[in-house]
Amino acid sequence: MGDWYYWHREHRGTLLAIFAFVVMFAIYSFNHPVGLNANVATTAANKGVLLALVAMAQTVVVITSGIDLSVGAVLVLANCLASRIVLGDTISTGMGVVGVLLVGCLCGALNGLIVVYGRLQPIVTTIATGAVFYGIALALRPVPGGDVNAQLAEALTGKLWLDIPASLVLLVAIIGLVWMPYRRSVIGRATYAVGSSESAAYMSGVPIKAAKFTAYTLSGLLSAMAGLFVTFVTYSGEASAANGSTYTLYSIASVVLGGVSLFGGAGSAVGAVFGALMFRTIGDLMFVFNLEPLWQPLFQGLILLAAISLGAVRLFQVRNRLELYD
């Protein structure tokens, strides 16, 4: 009984996100003009997985009560780099993938170094490093173009047996091989402690510096994975500042929808993944219900505003008004 209570408290946000996504996706697939077939599912999965990876990247940093506003820029950089080096035979393609992921890690590590050892605020740091990453992306790809290994791209964005979208399998694999071990490791737990109370974590001997540094580096890695996936979907690279800031905004929206606390210390990447899938489904719902494309950005913004307003529910639980002013 006791265990169940705490488990439920810890995962309440994630469960809510999963429930909301399932309801929305059901409405979407019942109202889709052709119904839910393999192609519709694959396209939806590809778009969803893209955002889900960026949302995971944002989550690991938000858990430390930081923020990474450079996820979009790292994604764009990885996209531009991948459109140059993920080419050719198996070996050079493999090296290219490793190279892109390594660059993502480096970007994240740079953020981590500046935030942890430079002791600058995450917001300012990541806005400024975002400009640097975007500049490098622009140098790599001044005009949109490039190419990517088509076999690999088709394999990862296509269908597997039983018409299961390959991208979903990839996402599950990343959650299982990257997020789960990280969450259970000492460092992973330390990031939650840092997010809850940095000074208490310091007093308890938690490795706060290593925890924060790892979180930012992992965020860079996951953003680079998303950038790589963008390349597989579009078969080209584009240094677009608008794309970068859109992904950054959507990543924060997904994190909020996924029940991750923006004050840090609570939530999980699984929740953020479902938050991302939910956010994508909202966009698809507008398409299914024939909403004028002109009005879509406004509705997306209003839904975002409404979703974050749900965070105000905690005001009703406050017993002492002083709890509000921290």
Site residues (vs another protein, CB under 8 A): 67, 114, 118-121, 123-125, 127-132, 134-139, 142, 198-199, 202, 208, 241, 249, 252-253, 256, 262-263, 294-302, 304-305, 308-309, 311-312, 314-315, 322, 324-326
Instruction: State the nearest-atom distance from the C-beta of 258 to another protein, in Å.
Output: 13
Tell me whether residue 182 or residue 202 sits nearer to another protein (CB atom).
202
Residue type, 135: G
Residue that has been written with the tokens 């406050």 in this structure? 318
* Residue 6: CB minimum distance to another protein, A: 25
- Smallest gap from residue 233 Cβ to another protein (A): 23
Q: Is the CB of 184 or the CB of 321 nearer to another protein?
A: 321
H or E element at residue 253: helix 241-257
* 263 vs 287, beta carbon nearer another protein: 263
SS3 of 80-130: the string is: HHHHHHCCCCHHHHHHHHHHHHHHHHHHHHHHHHHHHCCCCCHHHHHHHHH
Q: Which two tokens stand for residue 268?
A: 């999980």
The minimum distance between CB 28 and another protein, in angstroms, equals: 21
Identity of the residue, 150 or 315, whose beta carbon is nearer to another protein in the bound complex: 315
Nearer to another protein (CB atom), residue 64 or residue 167: 64
- Residue in this structure with the two tokens 């600058």, named with its chain if needed: 120
Compute the distance between CA of residue 266 and CA of residue 262 in angstroms, rounded to an integer.
Answer: 8
Q: Smallest Cα–Cα separation from 195: which of 71, 309, 60, 315? A: 60
At its nearest, how many Å lie between another protein and the CB of residue 168? 27
